[in-house]
Amino acid sequence: MEDNEECQYSLNELTEVMASFLEADNGYEKKYLKEKLKQHFGDRIMITGLKGRLENVVTFREKGHEVLCERWQREKRLTL
């Protein structure tokens, strides 16, 4: 995750990637994977779920901040 250009992943995507590395073994359940991600990355990630949506989204805080700032600046330039 850290070496990838992406800054957001759904929890479903991460469980599928994990399963692709495992042959016969079962991977973590989503709830347990979420806890392991929190333990490993600490406050470097945010795991959010939007009301009415079933999927949780994992976002690296630093990258998420960059995306928000870039979008704000782009919209600001368009309104000037």
- Evaluate whether residue 51 is within a structural domain: yes
Paired residues of 34 in beta bridges: none
Q: Which two tokens stand for residue 69?
A: 């700032």
Amino acid 42: pLDDT: 93
Containing domain of residue 30, as a range?
A: 8-79
- Evaluate whether residue 2 is within a structural domain: no
- Evaluate whether residue 62 is within a structural domain: yes
- Evaluate whether residue 61 is within a structural domain: yes
> CA 14, CA 36: separation in Å to the nearest integer?
12
- Evaluate whether residue 1 is within a structural domain: no
In the chain, the number of structural domains is: 1
- What digits encode the pLDDT tens for the residues 4-56? 666 788 888 888 888 888 776 677 788 888 899 999 999 988 888 877 767 88
- Evaluate whether residue 3 is within a structural domain: no
